[in-house]
Structure 1
Amino acid sequence: MPINTRNALNFSGGPGALPEIVLRQVQTAIIAVPEVGLSILGISHRSDWFAGIVRETEENIRALLNLPEDFHILFLQGGATQQFSQVPMTLLRGRRHAADYLDTGYWSRKVIAEAMREGPVRVVWSGERCGYRRLPREEELTFSPDAPYLHYVSNETVEGLQFHRILGRDDVPRVCDMSSDFLSKPCQADKFSLIYAHAQKNIGPAGVTIVLVRDNVVQSAPQNLPAFLDYRRHVEAHSNLNTPPVFAIYVVLLVTRWLRDQIGGLDNMARINHRKAQRLHAAIDDSDGFYRHWGDGDDRSDMNVAFSLPDAAREKRFFADASLAGFSGLEGHRALGGARASIYNALEPAAVERLVEFLDDFRRRNPR
């Protein structure tokens, strides 16, 4: 696919772009998976072939992250939103001490609201006073040694803020929503007890959520949870408790192969992503204030670049011109407005260069 197609210039916050090689493989699989001769949309989730797909996808993720053996890898449904509830149902229900949560943006606020339904929650730090324009500094954080766990969102897609360090105490389980930067870089998974990420940012289409969960979390879960919300049952069923999203899991497999074989692992992916982000952030910083970042410099995301234009009229013209130029997905989230360029794994560096050229050209044609 040439760079001027909509797929190549898809800066959507999610579902996001997929690698060209994966799209071509999916195109073939829609008609017939080569090894099976059936459409991927009609292959049974009880088939030996699909069981092999699940195993290989698990193995690829384990290898990419150097994941310890005591982690289970699950492919679940319900998106990250289901995990907002399933995590506290597993780790907080019936506990006396409050869980520690960080309030760093749009998605953190949603997570906290759901956790409060299950038990006591202590908000360690909130970005509300600063308008969610930055993340906390170390000296602003005091974590409880008695908390059943610490939860935070590694990358806030709406505000374009990303933690570039691991938070918390080693003696308190860490839980992290990595939905928008999972498999975009190494993440020291061994420092966490539970990681979850829905697929539609860096790793596949909507429909599947990946959960990495330590065995001690699974085994200590309450015994009276509904089966669909019990990690134990999903582990026993090998992510096949009910009809799983076969198509979405298959695409995740193809993406993990791409990361392994074409990209060469997560260290290389991180370098590519960081260079893309630096290029785009620099273009905004060098615009003499025409474009303005939402977040502070040290906390800016390598995945989502949120920015504003001088006024509503130019903003409207910006989106119209961007669409005519072949760009998609540059509108900011409805909760924040403005503009946002999401530069997930599959977004090629050449697409970022095209966007930088467009930003510069639009600024020259629309001076303040």
Structure 2
Amino acid sequence: MAGLTVTLTAVKLNGVTVERILPTEEAYELLGLTREIAEGELAPRAARYEQEGEFPRDVLRTIGRAGLLGLPYPEADGGAGQPYEVYLQVLETLASSWLAIAEAVSVHTLACFPVAAYGTERQRKSLPDMLGGELLGAYCLSEPQGGSDAAALTTRAVRDGDGYVVTGTKAWITHGGQADFYNVFCRTGGPGAAGISCLLADADTPGLLPQAPERTMGLRASPPAQIVLDDARIPADRLVGEEGQGFRIALEALDTGRLGIAACAVGLAQAALDHACAYAKERTQFGKPIAAFQGVGFMLADMATQIAAARALTLAAGRLKDAGRPFSTEAAKAKLFATDVAMKVTTDAVQVLGGAGYVSDHPVERWFREAKVLQIVEGTNQIQRLVISRALTRD
């Protein structure tokens, strides 16, 4: 996909004047293409894939060939050179039709970050295939005993000649068993964040052993899995960045990943609101549509307002990133608020539909189950509150 021409204008974000990248007419055409794919290709397949637990690898290849898997990366690397503001709207649109696809795009974009930002010239030669969707990525940071406390990870890599021998277990890995490459965060040094490095492992690495997929509440078409590393030998030239730089790489990637999850949450919430509104206009009780009753109408109004606020907060954080300003705290706010909104809106959508919302004949039942995971991935919402509170009280 050709890069879009963008224009700049001065705006104030959080009291700071910055140059904002304005989407052009071509960006709106991109969003139109995304809507066509979402409505024509994704929405008709979502229910069946989720019911059968079938991973949509063919769909992701289609998404990649349409240019939607490398949007925020430079054209020189095989990406589309898009502003994050545009990328986040693409994610929202995809999520409104099928959350598993939007989450896969977000996670894959996250998985490409280490090589794109810190990779060697040799490693970067794989970027066109990564960003084009021919190679699917996974991000291996969490462990069974160390989810939120990532700096305490225990997976260890020991240098042995021209490679590293890696031993440990990674948990909750999206695309586990499906990915073509894995970012493995492991301990090459002493305790704490300073001892962590990032290794890029191919899926066929001996000793890299994906386990059975988890049995999840939602996102059944893309369940996570543990990755066991049993003396897995990864060549030394697959070290991303320098030894001891892994934790920094991980946190930088998570900042952008949180924006992606926030956009997914907005899209899911919007889908739930749209379905609830349509149902409330058609369902009649006591001689009139239930939307005419304040008890329902006010609920729909609150849902719409919360979604609008979540969208605005998410895009504002994306604009800060586009402008080259610090955005970590704003990303945490967006992820916290948007995912809480998604949980509330999908809960209320089930309530609007009443008994019909509790059965799988309507998709709000599935959206309700899917919303929960968004409050957990890319750092739980409790961790987001910790990030925000520390920023508020930092000298």
Same fold (TM over 0.5): no
Q: TM-score, normalised by structure 2?
A: 0.23
Q: TM-score, normalised by structure 1?
A: 0.25
Identify the structure with bigger relative contact order (alpha carbons < 8 Å, sequence gap 6+): 1
